[in-house]
Structure 1
Amino acid sequence: MAVLLGIETSTDACSVAISVDGRVEEDHRIVPRQHNALVLECIDGLVRRLDIQLADLDALAFGRGPGSFTGLRIAAGVVQGLALARGLRVISVSTLQTIAASAARLRPQAGGYVCVLRARQGELYVGAYAAADGAGGPVESQPDVRVREEDFQLPDAAGPDWVLVGASDVLSGLPGCTRVGLEDAVDAYPHAGALLEMALPRWMEGEGVSAEYALPVYLQTQLPWRKTHD
C-alpha cells in the first residue's frame, strides 16, 4: 500500500490531500491567514477518514512556491517534521504547476496554462505549462518568473488554445488568452490532490529529498519573458 501526504499552503487556500494506492482524498479550504491553525486539523481529519495512521506514510509532497512567505514556511515546516521523524523522502512541486494541474480539471481541452499569482504590490508570479497526457501533469514550457505587472508578457509557447489562470482581480487588464472566469476563480487555486497526482509517479521513479533539503523556493524579480523573434 502506497500512502502519500500532500500539503499546499502557498496561497489563500489551505489544501491537504492523502493518496492511498492512488485513491486521493482532499481537504481544500479558502482560509486566508488561517493555515497555521488549520493545516494539522486537516491532516488529522483525512487520516481519520481514510482509517490510516501517520506511521503508514511512505512519502510526503508539498508546494514549494512561489507564493506567500508564511504559507510556504508552514508547508515546508510540517513536511520537514514528518519526514525527519519517519525518515521519509519529500517531493517538492511548483505551486504554479499545481495551479496548472488544478485548472486542467476545469479546462482539460486547453493546450496549456499561463498561471498568475500576485506577489508583492505591483508584481506577479507567472508560470507557463503545456498540457500533457498521463500522470506527470502539465509540463513546464518556460521557467517560473517574478515580474512587474507592467512587464507581463505571454510566453512564446502560448497559443490560442491556452488559458490564463488565476483570480479574476489579478487577471483583470492582463493581455491575451481565454480567461478562467470569475466562476472558476476559486478552483484556480492550487489543489493538494492535483499536487499528489504529479508527485506520486515522481516518487515511484525514485525522486525525493531528505527532510533538510525540503525547502521553499523564493523568486526574485526578473525581466519579462523575451520573444525569440524580437
Structure 2
Amino acid sequence: MIKSNILALDASTEALSIVLHFQGQTFHHFEECPQQHSQKILPLVDELLTKANCKLKDLDVIGFGQGPGSFTGVRISVAIAQGLAYSTNLPLVGVSTLAIMAQQAFEQNGSLSVYPSIDARMGEIYFAHYQVQNNLMLLVNQECVIKPDLLNNDYIATTEPSVAVGTGFKTYPDALNDFENVTINTDITLPDARYMLAHVEAAFLAGDVVKASDAQPKYVRDTVTWKKLPGRE
C-alpha cells in the first residue's frame, strides 16, 4: 500500500498520464493525445490537485517518466517535473517507461517475468527484461534499442513463462514466434502513470531521489550493447 503523497506523470509516448496519490486516495488521468501533451499536462495536474484538495507543497515527492519514448515527449516529462519541483523544492524520481509497463503487468496480472517494448520507429524497438522482486519490477538487462528480428536467446530466456507488452510487440508480433514461453499481452501497450507509484515510493523511501536540476531523461538510443546488470541472473 502506498503511504507517501506522490504526484507522477508521463508524456513519453502518445499517451499522457498523470496520477496523484494523496492521503490514501488516488486520482488519475490517462488519455492518448499525440502532440497535445505540452498544452494539456499542466491544466490536468491542476485539475487533479483541485479534486484532491491538495497543494504541491503538501506532496512528498514527484515522479516522472524519463523515457525511453519520443524525444519530445520525454523532454516534456522531464521539464514539467523539473518546473514543479523547482517551485516547491520537492525531490524527483525518474522511472523508466519500460519499467512502468512491466509493473502494470505484475500488478494487474501477477506476471513475474516481463519483456516491455516501445515502438522506436525506424524499424526498431526499445526493449528490456524485468523480473519481480519484493513486489517491484527490477531490470535484468540493460534497456536497449534493437531491430525486432534480431531478438534471440541472448535477449529472451526460453525457459521461464513470460509476458511481452508494449507497442513494440503490437507492431512486430512475429518477433516472438520462436519463443513459445512468451505470451503477448495486448491489453498493455502504453505506460500508465498509476504504475509508477510503487517505484517512486520505493526510491523516495530509500533516498534515491534527485533535485530538479539533476533530473535526466533516458533516451536509450546510445545503448549499443546488451549486458547483464551486476547481481542479476
Instruction: Report if TM-score (shorter chain) is over 0.5.
Output: yes
> Which residues of structure 1 form unaligned runs of 5+?
none
1:65 to 53, 64, 67: 67
Residue 190 (structure 1) aligns with: 191
> Which residues of structure 2 form unaligned runs of 5+?
229-233
Matches within 5 A, 1:70-219: 70-108=72-110, 110-134=111-135, 137-153=136-152, 155-157=155-157, 159-167=159-167, 169-175=170-176, 176=179, 177-181=182-186, 184=187, 187-219=188-220
Residue 231 (structure 2) aligns with: none
Shift of 1:156: 4.7
- The amino acid of 1:111's aligned partner reads L
> SS at 1:131's partner residue?
strand
**Residues 2-35 of structure 1 deviation map (CA, whole Å, 9 limit, x = unaligned):** 4211011111110001111453321111112211
**Residues 166-190 of structure 1 deviation map (CA, whole Å, 9 limit, x = unaligned):** 2363242111211113xx1xx4321
- Large movers: runs of 4+ above 3 Å: 156-160, 221-227
The answer as to whether partners of 2:130 and 2:140 remain within 8 angstroms in 1 is yes
Shift of 1:223: 5.1
Distance change in 2, residues 1:210/1:224 (3 Å): closer
RMSD between superposed Cα atoms in Å: 2.2
Relative to the length of structure 1, the TM-score reads 0.87
Residue 28 (structure 2) aligns with: 26
- The amino acid of 1:97's aligned partner reads A
Q: How many residue pairs end up in the alignment? A: 220
Greater shift, 157-166 or 137-146, is seen at: 157-166
Distance change in 2, residues 1:2/1:166 (3 Å): closer
The answer as to whether partners of 1:147 and 1:224 remain within 8 angstroms in 2 is no
Shift of 1:85: 1.6
Distance 1:126 1:91 in 2: 21
Residue 46 (structure 2) aligns with: 44
